[in-house]
Amino acid sequence: NTRTVTCEAPVNIAVIKYWGKSNEELIIPLNDSISVTLSTEHLRARTTIRSNSGSREITFSLDGKEEVLTKRFLRAVELCRAEAKRQNTSTAEELAQGLSIVSENNFPTAAGLASSAAGFACLVTALKHYYRITGDVSGIVRQGSGSACRSVFGGFVRWLKGTAPDGSDSIAQQVKPASHWPEMRVLILVVSDHKKETSSTHGMKTTAETSRLLKYRADVLVPQRCAEMTAAITAKNFAEFAEITMRDSNQFHAVCLDTYPPIFYLNSVSQAIIEMVHIYNQYKGTPTVAYSFDAGPNAFLFTLEDNVNEVAGLISATFSEMIDFRGLPLQPIRTEAS
Ligand code: DP6
């Protein structure tokens, strides 16, 4: 009895950042976060699961290379098997069977382009279909990699920190589908495709342990900001959306700097991009482009469809010498519903 399931999952970019956990094992965040899910047309993970008949072994290859199974990876498989058992959607024989899992990203893995987010969302979605599980699996995805749970939904997504000590209500929810704001575009500027120096997991642990600013951010500032961001998205108020996005990215990098010893994710090119965006917005008289940076120097620029060409032109004129677009042309990325 052999089964094959293939799934694709998109990347998501946080506009209110997740940084810091209240529970390391269960991956429960210190604050809610909000993101935009990109189209699978441009950046996506693709995973195929086949039964390894006659064997109990699980094998995993990523971009053609055999990978060692991490604790988080095995946990995702175990949680899906347990859920299938609870829902009674797979036979004991199926649940015991080994799996051959093959994944592939159509963009540089681990270059700070949220590949782990797409990867875990994809793995768990494929397992969900493989074991015929029904219902929301964002709580399982979360335990693979926190930010990944937001990739389960399209459009604008909020990941709730929840209140349950076991993390059962720390799940992702769609705020609005992509069709609510179809003019929204994201430009990705690959400043560096090197593997990041401080992983998010390790970086946020150090920040949570050493930064007092993080506590104020998570307890006081982010709850206000999430309410304002939800209102901006609902009203399709780009100027508001842009200002909150930039302020939150800056604050995330400020808590990285408040970490002891400090963590630097931005480089001089990232800083030049930030300056360029502010000069451009001043020239336009209203926030027209917003930048956001994760745990790396690459920039995500949000703008509306009408401005894409002007912004793309400005970027290539300013940065053609500095930025290596390697395999990732500066293309508008459409957001779409899942
Ligand atoms: C800066 O989700 O990669 O991209 O939960 O430990 O796997 P783990 O961390 P991860 O952290 C992502 C941090 C971020 C901000 C965000 O996406 O919200």
CA atoms within 13 A on the CB side of 178: 21
Of 94 and 112, more confident: 94
Residues 6+ apart with CB under 8 A from 74: 58
Sheet holding 98-105, edge to edge: 4-10, 44-52, 98-105, 58-62, 65-66
Q: Is the CB of 298 under 6 A from ligand 1?
A: no
Q: Is the CB of 17 under 6 A from ligand 1?
A: yes
| Amino acid code (one letter) for 148 | A
252 CA → ligand 1 middle, Å: 11
Q: Can you spell out the DSSP letters for 109-176?
A: TTSSSSHHHHHHHHHHHHHHHHTT--S--HHHHHTT-GGGGGGGSSSEEEE---S-TT-TT--EEEEE
Probe residue for ligand 1, chosen from 17, 113, 147 as the CB with the greatest number of ligand atoms within 8 Å? 147
Which tens digit of pLDDT belongs to each residue from 247-274? 999 999 999 999 999 999 999 999 999 9
DSSP 114-131: SHHHHHHHHHHHHHHHHT
**Are residues 39 and 151 in contact, defined by beta-carbon separation less than 8 angstroms?**
no
In DSSP notation, 198-231 reads: S-HHHHHHHHHHH-HHHHHIIIIIHHHHHHHHHH
Q: Is the pLDDT of residue 336 over 70?
A: no
pLDDT, one tens digit per residue, over 155-166 is 999 999 999 999
Taking the CB of residue 294, how many other CB atoms lie within 10 A of it? Answer: 24
Residue 114 — pLDDT band, cuts 50, 70, 90? low
Cβ(201) – ligand 1 distance below 6 Å: yes
Average of per-residue pLDDT across 121-150? 97
Please report the pLDDT score of residue 257 as a whole number. Answer: 98
Cβ–ligand 1 distance for 170 under 6 Å, the answer: no
Mean pLDDT of the chain: 91
Cα–Cα distance for residue pair 89/132, rounded to 1 Å: 6
Contact partners, residue 169, CB within 8 Å, separation at least 6: 160, 162, 163
Nearest CA to ligand 1 atom 14: 294
Q: Is 292 in the pocket of ligand 1 (CB under 6 A)?
A: no
- CA of 313 relative to ligand 1 center, distance in Å: 31
Residue 331: predicted pLDDT: 36
Asked if residue 334 has pLDDT above 50, the reply is no
Q: Which residue has the higher pLDDT, 113 or 127?
A: 127
For residue 295, how far is its CA from the centre of ligand 1 (angstroms)? Answer: 8
Write the Ramachandran bin of 20: left for phi over 0, alpha for psi from -120 to 50, otherwise beta: left
82's CB contacts (< 8 A; 6+ apart) are none
Whole-structure pTM value: 0.93
Q: Is the CB of residue 103 less than 8 Å from the CB of residue 61? A: yes
If you measure from the C-alpha of residue 78 to the centroid of ligand 1, how many angstroms do you get, rounded to a whole number? 22
Atom of ligand 1 minimally distant from the CA of 29 = 5
CB atoms under 10 Å from CB of 179, counted, come to 11
- Report d(CA 7, CA 44) in Å as an integer: 10
What is the arithmetic mean of pLDDT over 204-230? 98
pLDDT at residue 332, rounded to an integer: 36
pLDDT score of 188: 87
